[in-house]
Amino acid sequence: MTDTSSSRLSDQKPQTLEPSPALTPSLAQRLRALTPARVGLHRTGISQATPELLDFQLAHGRARDAVHAPLQPAGLLVELQTLLPQEKPLLLHSAAPDRNTYLQRPDLGRRLDELSRQRLQQRPSHYAYDLQIVIVDGLSSVAVDRHAVPLLTELLPSLANSSPSLTLAPICVVQQGRVAIGDEIAQALSARMVIVLIGERPGLSSPDSLGAYITWEPRPGLTTDAERNCISNIRTEGLSYRDAAARLSFYIREAMDKQTTGIALKDPNLSHEPSQLKSGESA
């Protein structure tokens, strides 16, 4: 008895998979020209080509290095002092004693250690400020090293022009910190609003992305993320310093006017040029 089903299967020719039009070299090159994302990767059989694999491993290594690299505050403090010679920046530390603890205990990164609290308590108590700027290493000290000072170089003159009466507290640099640590600092220095510039969690194409969080009247332990506005991906390949400074200036003016931030504060009209946002035109 002949197994006709087996013979039919043996007579069939193996199917060959035609290359998808989405993966043709010409289309892949055009897509890669538009984005740093990994699209149209070259393959050898069912595996990625060696250059693509090595590129992925390099990007992964850079992301890991960004997370674990310690902040180098000495040079940053010198640059900040040059930028604002009238007020010496303060170096502070979170309650996380080291990097491993910081990564495992996010709660410790949200509050200051005792020595830092004492430093803030030694400041004159009769001062009150409109704005507190806090620079935090976060999950990418590389982002802070590269982008914090260039961003402030754009932002501070913009604030001086658009809000000349705005009073600025001493800039604080925090090691092993999270976003919420700015709440405690602003409260200790009697600042009505805080901007936290922080290294964001690295991606495989963005190990040095800087974020900016704006909070009106922060309350340590009580303020939620819904009460903050966030500007992310500030870096050379992302949102430019000029555009980020324009958005920050907008949020500062709106927060001072409406006395709120977060979901109650709308984003600026994306159709406006940065120069228009700086001059006060809003959505």
Same domain, 163 and 109: yes
Element holding 44 (H helix, E strand)? strand 43-44
Give the separation between CA 232 and CA 203, rounded to whole angstroms. Answer: 13
Percent of the chain at pLDDT > 90 equals 60
Q: Model confidence at 269, in pLDDT bands (50, 70, 90)?
A: low
DSSP string, 205-273: TBTT-EEEEEEES--TTT--GGGEEEEEEESTTSB-HHHHHHHHHHHHHHHHHHS--GGGSPPPPTTS-
Write the pLDDT tens digit of every residue in 28-44.
778 777 877 777 777 78
Q: Identify the pLDDT of residue 30.
A: 81
Between the alpha carbon of residue 179 and those of residues 10, 119, 133, 203, the distances in Å are 65, 20, 12, 19
Type of residue found at 27: L
User: How far, in Å, CA of 258 to CA of 35, rounded?
Assistant: 38
> Is the same domain home to 199 and 86?
yes
Are residues 84 and 100 located together in one domain of the fold? yes
| Domain around 134 | 71-278
Q: Is residue 9 part of a domain?
A: no
Residue 7 lies in a domain: no
Does residue 31 sit in the same domain as residue 161?
no
Same-domain check for residues 53 and 77: no
Residues 35 and 124 in one domain: no
Q: Are residues 145 and 32 in the same domain?
A: no
Are 47 and 130 in a shared domain? Answer: no
| pLDDT confidence band for 143 (50 / 70 / 90) | very high
Residue 5 lies in a domain: no
Q: Which of 110, 146, 137 is nearest to 197 (CA)?
A: 137
Q: Is residue 14 part of a domain?
A: no
Q: How many CB atoms lie within 10 A of CB 219?
A: 13
* Mean pLDDT of all residues in 98-114: 96
Q: What tens digit of pLDDT does each residue of 226-236 get?
A: 999 999 999 99
218 sits in the region (left: phi over 0; alpha: psi -120 to 50; else beta) called beta
- Predicted confidence band at 26 (pLDDT cuts at 50, 70, 90)? confident
Asked if residue 280 has pLDDT above 50, the reply is no
Instruction: Among 10, 34, 66, give the residue marking a domain's end.
Output: 66
| Domain stop point among 10, 38, 66 | 66
Give a yes or no: residue 220 inside a domain: yes
β-strands 228-234, 43-44: how paired?
unpaired
In a domain, 15, yes or no: no
Half-sphere exposure of 69 (CA within 13 A, CB side): 20
**Of the candidates 205, 76, 88, 78, which has an alpha carbon nearest to the alpha carbon of residue 141?**
76
Cα–Cα dist 112/115, whole Å: 8
Q: Which residue has the tokens 């109650």?
A: 264
pLDDT at 272 over 60: no
Residue at 6 is within a domain: no
Question: pLDDT grade, residue 5 (50/70/90)?
Answer: very low
Place of tokens 């020719």: 13
Q: What is the CATH number of the domain that holds 189?
A: 3.40.50.11240
Q: Are 146 and 226 within one domain?
A: yes
Total domain count, the chain: 2
What is the rounded distance in angstroms from the CA atom of residue 52 to the CA atom of residue 41?
7
Report the 3 state secondary structure along 77-88: HHHHHHHCCCCC
pTM, full prediction: 0.82
Strands (DSSP E) found in 61-219: 90-93, 129-136, 172-175, 191-199, 210-216
- Both 231 and 91 in one domain: the answer is yes
Residues 133 and 269 in one domain: yes
Instruction: Give the residue-averaged pLDDT of 94-114.
Output: 96
Residues 132 and 55 occupy one common structural domain: no
Residue 81 within a domain? yes
